[in-house]
Structure 1
Amino acid sequence: MASPILKNKRGITLGDKIQDFSFESTHGPLTLSEHFNGGWGILFSHPDDFTPICTTELGELARLDNLGEFSRRNVKVIGLSCNDVESHKRWIQDIKAYSGEDVHYPIIADKSREIAVELGMLSSDDLDKAGLPLTVRSVFVIGPDLAIKLTLTYPASTGRNFVEILRVVDSLQLTSYQSLATPVNWVKGEKACIVPSVSNEAATEKFPKGFNIVDLPSGKGYLRFTPDPSA
């Protein structure tokens, strides 16, 4: 039988504005807007403390954070699971021992599962010892306007690729401020596509580095590439 908690399971989709909320964390009481401080944010959940895949994930996140990969993009990260603060703090010592990295980002203690229910993070398959649902591996990239720009959900058995998440952040930040979209396997510095709503005349003004139109059998000049203006 499903946990009664799951009957209230909601969720959030692309474009929705996340409601600011307060929480307890390894950095003490905070609010989401206070932590993100007007910049970009990544909220990610993990199923449980003291588990193998989660330990490798948070260790890698600490490594990237300590390298400045998030700060140079004006991104703050924050974790979440249904464990309490003391459990998080004890587990951080294991993460540090495994990865060799200090964990400087906060981890939310959502023991009541209130936040996880609101954001649709709970699994109907993965339960704790008390039979309560655990959080899945959710990722929310949140813009400065607190709108959801990306959602990803991984099963508990699959660790996330945070380099890919950084790539997506680069794409989101580029396309938020330019009339561009990023093609398959794009990474920062590579050419991007001009969106169809921009005419060739307007593209000439918008993109001083120029652009090229790919000659296709259809004769439709919709595939237009321009150098990454941020490079």
Structure 2
Amino acid sequence: MLSRQLLRLSANASKARCARPMAIPRLARPSGTQLVGRFYSTFNPKDQPRVRIGSTAPNFTVDTTEGEIDFHKYIGDQWVVLFSHPADFTPVCTTELGAFARLKPEFDQRNVKLIGLSTEGVESHKAWIKDMEDVTTGGAKFSYPIIADSDKKVAFLYDMLSEEDFNKIGGGMVPTVRSVFVIDPSKKVRLIMTYPASTGRNSAEVLRVVDALQLADSKGIATPIDWSSGEDVIIPPSISDDAAKAKFGEFKTLKSYLRTTKSPIE
């Protein structure tokens, strides 16, 4: 009796094995890689671009909450502020993206586009935007795109990860740090700021540095510590006194290398 039961169990087990699809062996994944669709995407530190002030902003094509974009085409002939946030549905990030949304009219006046990023998907971003419209935009429509960098391609290109999370980039979701890149119409990186995840940024500071950069480009001046729009500016030492007087009119000489003048009118 026992023998017949064992035979039936063995037969049933054989049928079950035949009914199941054959298991596909799991391929060994090289260190520092992740599976994207059916292909491996390799994150080799040696391949990471050196993004510095003055370098060309790396281009990429990516999905956003407003559709697919080619980043250089998105920049067009405008300035861009590209900034990353650690994760959707997090408190500090909600206040930050909402603050940038409220300031968007100010950025628009300066010919500046905004674009955010995290390593989560479009649907997550879209659901989160509703929270920001409820809490931080005063009910106004959220009106700039957020990049869905779930494959971490942009985070890698722009080095938006902490040391710890960079070492885990080949795994699951990793949070980006709070990176800020100001990029000009020629696609050159003009300013880089990086904050830890625990520290919210100052959106007014981003607006201030845009003013400083644009004024420096158009009028050939420099801006001192804590400068705000309309305050006195610095005449570069490369400009002689005679040339400075011809260009700016009256100026103050504090030291031979430190001269200030009224802020030029745009």
- Within the candidate set 106, 111, 115, 1:74 is matched to 111
- Within the candidate set 196, 200, 220, 1:179 is matched to 220
Distance 1:133 1:82 in 2: 7
Is the Cα contact below 8 Å between 2:119 and 2:173 reproduced in 1?
A: no
Higher relative contact order (Cα pairs below 8 Å, separated by 6+ residues): 1
Q: Map of 1:41-120 to 2, 5 A cutoff?
A: 41-65=80-104, 68-99=105-136, 100=138, 101-120=140-159
Identity percentage of aligned residues: 47
TM-score between both structures, scaled by the size of structure 2? 0.78
RMSD: 1.8
Whether 2:234 is the aligned partner of 1:198: answer: no
Query: Equivalent residue of 2:215, what SS?
Result: helix
Distance 1:110 1:150 in 2: 22
- Within the candidate set 22, 30, 34, 2:73 is matched to 34
Q: Map of 1:2-17 to 2, 5 A cutoff?
A: 4=32, 7-8=44-45, 9-17=48-56
Q: Which amino acid aligns with 2:102?
A: R
Q: Map of 1:101-180 to 2, 5 A cutoff?
A: 101-125=140-164, 131-180=172-221
- Within the candidate set 195, 212, 216, 2:252 is matched to 212
After TM superposition, give the deviation of residue 34 of structure 1 in Å: 2.6
Q: Deviations over 1:5-36 (max 9, x none)?
A: 66535541111011332111000011223322
Distance 2:239 2:218 in 1: 14
Q: Deviations over 1:113-150 (max 9, x none)?
A: 0111011011234579x654321100000011110000
Distance 1:115 1:131 in 2: 15
Distance 2:32 2:175 in 1: 13
Q: Which amino acid aligns with 1:212?
A: K
Aligned residue pairs, count? 220
- Which residue is 1:222 aligned to? 257
Is the Cα contact below 8 Å between 1:123 and 1:133 reproduced in 2?
A: no
Distance 1:164 1:57 in 2: 13
Distance 2:215 2:77 in 1: 18
Q: Over alpha carbons, which structure has the higher Rg?
A: 2
Is the Cα contact below 8 Å between 1:179 and 1:198 reproduced in 2?
A: no
Q: Deviations over 1:37-70 (max 9, x none)?
A: 21111000001001110001011111111xx110
Gaps of 5+ in 1: 215-219
Q: Which amino acid aligns with 1:91?
A: W
TM-score between both structures, scaled by the size of structure 1? 0.89
